[in-house]
């Protein structure tokens, strides 16, 4: 049951995702990619609030700046990048590009809404393709994944657009770690 | 085939004169070179066959003799076995076994498919590979993905017994082939990426009863180390040799996977294998009580054990306090009377993930040579081989490449080799014709950023992100090399676009054959590496080349079927090592060359 409570907690944290999504007739997370006033790429309606970029319906999003031949991403996208390459890439391949073993999430996130993403990561998924079984495990009990589920989501979301090309991010490619992120990491992982 | 009978008789004579009890059926089977009885070819794991019908002069005329689809899409490692007129094939998960009748157009005699819970699939870090069957006493030993060890009747495919070796719910999985010595069948377990304390276990081949289990870390009676008798670097290891190298009870999540290729010395009656990385990949979480590096024994070690009792005779830790995932699991190859620095030794040669080729005296466990087998290796300046030095046996770590000294949340860049090592499981071969080793290698570097992780049973426990790319200024990611283990020198080196992830075969015909990730099967001249034959198989090759004789004809074969770590790291294309997020385009992905699908291709002369 811990698994379910995690997913629900995440949904509540979003503050009314479901209702506003219906009103705007765009499923949470499927908003268009736009160039913001600061010249950086994000999704339509993105705002910086409490240390992270969010959409009007409360869905988290990315913020990617490409200036002077250098990429700089927000902390959440960066943390998603590194957590992805710690937890997910052994199956889903580097940069969300897929492998012989599991699908390319950079493609999946083009059509998968935020709620489906959360549910799939928390509860897992199985598929049978011509007798070959593909099994995504349930990560609902895994703090290393669930504590950073929004960061993983925004990284893959950025990858699903052309905003963030495949490649690696280093220390100079990110914004500073906001205090909110530090506090949340500590509260969720413990110690 | 005349030569094979002669050489076989010699092997048999040597083995029978050994004092240790040996399994007659295996010795007899190996003695007939028309067979391919063991994954490693022989107990010394040389992968050298004395068959010479196919040789440097005629190998260019090879033609495909027959093919067989395994019906499974995943990565195909290991090779079939050939015993008499029957060939036995294994597959990745679901671990199907086929027996084919070589006398009857390779028809299927029987097929065995175990029932396994598919929830084991995602627990298998890096694909559901299986490194193959072993044979003894009319039985086949299959090590399933879910860690079940099954003995099958080789004639009928019926189960004789089953033993459950581990629990996949905790992240324990099986990929490695077993080793049978006397009446004991031994297997390891994988799971260091899930915080499993891994172990090596001996079972009775007749009943499946567990005889002993040696953990990679923990109290002396659980690692089966004798404080007075078990040696390391020429000295007894002493009490609590493992426990005192861990902080608190971190050894309980210690890792140290065992899934490589094992070897056995009949005279010393010792089995040799390697252990993998300590969990997690974030070294800061494994620091000593004083906040400094601490060894974490016996992860990353070569261990020699008595196959009947499991007791360790010696151990040598190659990479104390791992900071890069340089597992020590790769194959152990045994060669007698090798002259090293003017003295003859019976040696064990091991090409480690850490990029160093070790030549070790296999009786004492003393390292004689430890040299880089890829010049780009940069995390160490070398191993201290001076017995009088306080750092004896240890590699000198380059501070700028230390992911521990740089700390968590810091990206340590341009570390060579990458985590998949200068070589992974793909086994090298030895040739007595040249005295050289033929080594399939990776030529890949990485950036590595560790970060904090929490342990949850049965969930990944990794704690680092890494990006891999070819060494700076280069565009190829593999080399096929010839190595002089007595001097620690590369003799020749052939570039390959991708990592060479296939096991090598050497033969008395003077050839060395290997597969490539694009799917080419290649044979070269052992002397100079000159390519003599090349043929495309249906998929990328991560299997091991093998040979057998049937009705006076020599055959060479290999599994194709891309996957494994190679399929994951390379399928999508490695990225450009530029700081500012370069394009992937410069290094085309493997998926523009090959697609999934398991099959066996067999060649012979027309």
* Residue pLDDT, tens place only, A146-174: 999 999 999 999 999 978 888 778 777 88
Per CB-CB distance under 8 Å, the chain B contacts of A145 are 459
Min distance B571 CA to chain A CA atoms (Å): 5
Cβ atoms of B86 and B110 within 8 Å: the answer is no
Say how many domains are in chain A.
1
- State the pLDDT confidence band at B567, using cuts at 50, 70 and 90: low
Per CB-CB distance under 8 Å, the chain B contacts of A165 are 581, 583-584
Q: What is the sign of the dihedral through the CA atoms of B140, B144, B147 and B153?
A: negative
- Give the model's pLDDT for residue B272: 98
- State the pLDDT confidence band at B126, using cuts at 50, 70 and 90: low
Per CB-CB distance under 8 Å, the chain A contacts of B127 are 100-101
Say how many domains are in chain B.
1
**Do the bridges between strand B199-204 and strand B210-215 make them parallel or antiparallel, or are there none, so unpaired?**
antiparallel
Residue B349: exposed, middle, or buried by beta-carbon count in 10 A (0-12, 13-18, 19+)? buried
- Give the model's pLDDT for residue B14: 43
- Give the model's pLDDT for residue B291: 95
Distances (CA, A) of B590 to B165, B418, B481, B518: 35, 18, 22, 7
- Report the Cα B53 to chain-centroid distance in Å: 28
User: Mean pLDDT score of chain B, rounded to an integer?
Assistant: 91
Q: Which helix (H) or strand (E) holds B270?
A: strand B270-274
The Cα–Cα gap between B101 and B107 comes to 5
Residue A182 in domain: no
- State the pLDDT confidence band at B568, using cuts at 50, 70 and 90: low
pLDDT in tens, B292-349: 999 999 999 999 999 999 999 999 999 999 999 999 999 999 999 999 999 999 999 9
Residue of A111, A106, A113 lying closest to A166 (CA atoms): A106
**Token digits of residue A177:** 């770690």
**Token digits of residue A180:** 């909110």
Q: Which of A75, A91, A101, A177 to mutate to test the interface with B (most CBs of B within 10 A)?
A: A101
Per CB-CB distance under 8 Å, the chain B contacts of A168 are 447, 467, 575, 577, 581
pLDDT over 80 (residue B32) = yes
Task: State the Cα angle at A87 between A83 and A89, rounded to 5°.
Answer: 95
Question: Domain holding B531: CATH number?
Answer: 2.140.10.10
- Output the DSSP codes for B516-577: -TTSEEEEEETTT--EEEEEE-SS---SB-EEEEETTEEEEEEEE---HHHHHHHHT-PPP-
Q: Please answer yes or no on whether A135 and B118 come within 8 Å at the CB atom.
A: yes
Q: Which of A168, A169, A188 to mutate to test the interface with B (most CBs of B within 10 A)?
A: A168
Q: Who's near B565: CB < 8 A, 6+ residues apart?
A: B126, B127, B420, B424
- State the pLDDT confidence band at B174, using cuts at 50, 70 and 90: very high
- Mean of the pLDDT values across residues B354-359? 98
Q: Which residue from A69, A70, A167 is facing B576, i.e. has the nearest CB?
A: A167
Can you tell me whether residue A13 is helix, strand or coil?
helix
DSSP code of residue A147: T
Q: Which of A71, A94, A132, A181 to mutate to test the interface with B (most CBs of B within 10 A)?
A: A94
To 10 degrees, what angle do helices A114-123 and A2-13 make?
Answer: 160
Q: Who's near B94: CB < 8 A, 6+ residues apart?
A: B72, B113, B114, B116, B145
- State the pLDDT confidence band at B396, using cuts at 50, 70 and 90: very high
Cβ atoms of A51 and B426 within 8 Å: the answer is no
pLDDT in tens, B183-237: 999 999 998 888 999 999 999 999 999 999 999 999 999 999 999 999 999 999 9
**Do the bridges between strand B97-101 and strand B412-415 make them parallel or antiparallel, or are there none, so unpaired?**
unpaired
- Give the model's pLDDT for residue B510: 98
pLDDT in tens, B238-255: 999 999 999 999 999 999
Q: Report the predicted TM-score, pTM, of the whole model to 2 decimal places.
A: 0.89
- State the pLDDT confidence band at B89, using cuts at 50, 70 and 90: very high
**How many A/B residue pairs have CB atoms within 8 Å?**
148
Domain enclosing residue B291, as ranges: 2-482+491-604
Min distance B448 CA to chain A CA atoms (Å): 10
Residue A139 at interface with chain B, using a CB cutoff of 8 Å: yes
Min distance B38 CA to chain A CA atoms (Å): 28
Q: Considering the candidates B32, B322, B325, B424, report the single residue annotated as catalytic.
A: B325
* B528 part of the active site: no
The ipTM, to two decimals, is 0.70
- Mean of the pLDDT values across residues B83-109? 97
Q: What percent of chain B is predicted at pLDDT more than 70?
A: 92
Min distance B134 CA to chain A CA atoms (Å): 25
Cβ atoms of B301 and B278 within 8 Å: the answer is no
Burial B424-455 (b: 16+ CB within 10 A, else e): bbbbbbbbebbebbbbbbbbbbbbbbbbbbbb
- Mean of the pLDDT values across residues B20-29? 74
- Mean of the pLDDT values across residues B350-369? 98
- Give the model's pLDDT for residue B124: 75
pLDDT in tens, B478-534: 999 999 999 999 999 999 988 999 999 999 999 999 999 999 999 999 999 999 999
- Give the model's pLDDT for residue B588: 53
Q: Please answer yes or no on whether B579 and A144 come within 8 Å at the CB atom.
A: no
The Cα–Cα gap between A103 and A118 comes to 16
Residue A3 at interface with chain B, using a CB cutoff of 8 Å: no
Parts of chain A with a pLDDT under 50: 1-23
- State the pLDDT confidence band at B4, using cuts at 50, 70 and 90: very low
Q: Please answer yes or no on whether A165 and B127 come within 8 Å at the CB atom.
A: no
Residue A191 in domain: no
Domain enclosing residue A148, as ranges: 2-176
Count of beta carbons in the 10 Å neighbourhood of residue B55: 18
């Amino acid at each position: 049951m811990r698994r379910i409570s995690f997913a629900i907690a995440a949904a509540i944290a979003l503050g009314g995702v479901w209702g506003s999504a219906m009103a705007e007739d765009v499923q949470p997370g499927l908003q268009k990619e736009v160039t913001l006033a600061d010249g950086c790429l994000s999704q339509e309606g993105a705002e910086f609030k409490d240390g992270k970029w969010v959409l009007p319906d409360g869905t988290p999003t990315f913020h990617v700046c490409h200036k002077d031949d250098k990429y700089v991403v927000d902390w959440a996208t960066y943390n998603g990048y590194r957590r992805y390459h710690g937890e997910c890439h052994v199956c889903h391949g580097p940069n969300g590009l897929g492998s012989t073993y599991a699908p390319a999430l950079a493609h999946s996130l083009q059509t998968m809404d935020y709620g489906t993403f959360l549910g799939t990561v928390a509860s897992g998924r199985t598929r049978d393709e011509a007798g070959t079984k593909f099994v995504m495990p349930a990560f609902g009990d895994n703090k290393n994944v669930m504590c950073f589920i929004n960061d993983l989501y925004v990284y893959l979301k950025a990858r699903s657009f052309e905003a963030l090309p495949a490649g690696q991010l280093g220390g100079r490619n990110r914004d500073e770690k906001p205090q909110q992120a530090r506090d949340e990491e500590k509260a969720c992982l413990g110690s | 085939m005349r030569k094979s009978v002669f050489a076989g008789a010699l092997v048999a004579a040597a083995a029978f004169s050994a004092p240790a009890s040996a399994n007659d059926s295996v010795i007899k089977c190996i003695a007939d070179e028309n067979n391919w009885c063991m994954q490693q070819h022989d107990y010394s794991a040389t992968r050298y066959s004395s068959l010479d019908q196919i040789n440097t002069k005629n190998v260019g005329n090879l033609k495909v003799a027959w093919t067989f689809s395994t019906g499974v899409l995943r990565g195909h490692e290991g090779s079939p076995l050939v015993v008499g007129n029957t060939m036995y094939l294994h597959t990745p998960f679901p671990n199907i076994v086929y027996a084919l009748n070589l006398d009857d157009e390779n028809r299927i005699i029987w097929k065995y498919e175990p029932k396994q819970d598919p929830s084991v699939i995602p627990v298998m870090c890096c694909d559901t590979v299986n490194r193959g069957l072993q044979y003894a006493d009319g039985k086949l030993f299959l090590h399933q993905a879910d860690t079940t060890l099954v003995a099958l009747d080789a004639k009928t495919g019926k189960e004789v017994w089953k033993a459950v070796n581990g629990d996949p719910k905790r992240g324990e999985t099986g990929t490695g082939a077993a080793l049978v010595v006397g009446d004991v069948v031994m297997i390891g377990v994988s799971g260091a990426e899930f915080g499993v304390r891994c172990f090596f276990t001996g079972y009775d081949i007749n009943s499946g009863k567990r005889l002993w289990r040696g953990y990679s870390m923990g109290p002396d009676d659980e690692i089966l180390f004798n404080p007075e008798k078990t040696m390391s670097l020429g000295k007894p290891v002493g009490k609590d040799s493992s426990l005192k190298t861990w902080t608190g009870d971190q050894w309980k999540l210690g890792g140290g996977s065992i899934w490589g290729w094992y070897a056995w010395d009949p005279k010393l009656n010792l089995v040799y294998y390697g252990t993998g990385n300590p969990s997690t990949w974030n070294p800061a979480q494994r620091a000593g009580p004083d906040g400094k590096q601490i060894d974490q024994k016996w992860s990353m070690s070569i261990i020699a054990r008595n196959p009947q009792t499991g007791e360790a005779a010696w151990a040598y830790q190659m990479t104390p306090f791992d900071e890069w995932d340089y597992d020590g699991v790769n194959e152990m190859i045994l060669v007698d009377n090798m002259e090293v620095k003017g003295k003859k030794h019976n040696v064990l040669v091991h090409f480690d993930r850490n990029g160093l080729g070790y030549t070790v005296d296999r009786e004492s466990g003393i390292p004689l040579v430890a040299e880089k087998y890829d010049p780009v290796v940069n995390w160490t300046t070398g191993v201290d081989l001076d017995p009088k030095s306080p750092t004896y046996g240890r590699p000198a770590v380059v501070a700028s490449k230390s992911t521990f000294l740089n700390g968590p949340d810091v990206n340590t860049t341009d570390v060579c080799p990458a985590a998949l090592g200068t070589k992974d499981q793909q086994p090298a071969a030895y040739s007595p014709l040249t005295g050289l080793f033929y080594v399939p290698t990776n030529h890949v570097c990485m950036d590595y950023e560790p970060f904090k992780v929490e342990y949850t049973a049965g969930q990944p426990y990794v704690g680092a992100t890494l990006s891999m790319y070819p060494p700076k200024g280069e565009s190829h990611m593999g080399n096929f090399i010839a190595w002089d283990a007595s001097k620690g020198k590369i003799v020749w080196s052939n570039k390959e676009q991708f990592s060479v992830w296939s096991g090598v075969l050497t033969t008395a015909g003077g050839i060395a054959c290997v597969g490539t990730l694009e799917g080419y099967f290649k044979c070269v001249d052992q002397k100079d590496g000159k390519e003599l034959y090349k043929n495309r198989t249906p998929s990328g090759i991560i299997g091991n080349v093998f040979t057998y004789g049937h009705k006076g004809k020599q055959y060479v074969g290999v599994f194709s079927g891309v996957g494994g770590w190679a399929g994951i790291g390379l399928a999508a294309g490695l990225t450009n090592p530029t700081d500012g997020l370069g394009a992937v385009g410069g290094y085309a992905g493997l998926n523009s060359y090959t697609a999934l699908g398991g099959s066996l291709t067999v060649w012979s002369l027309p």
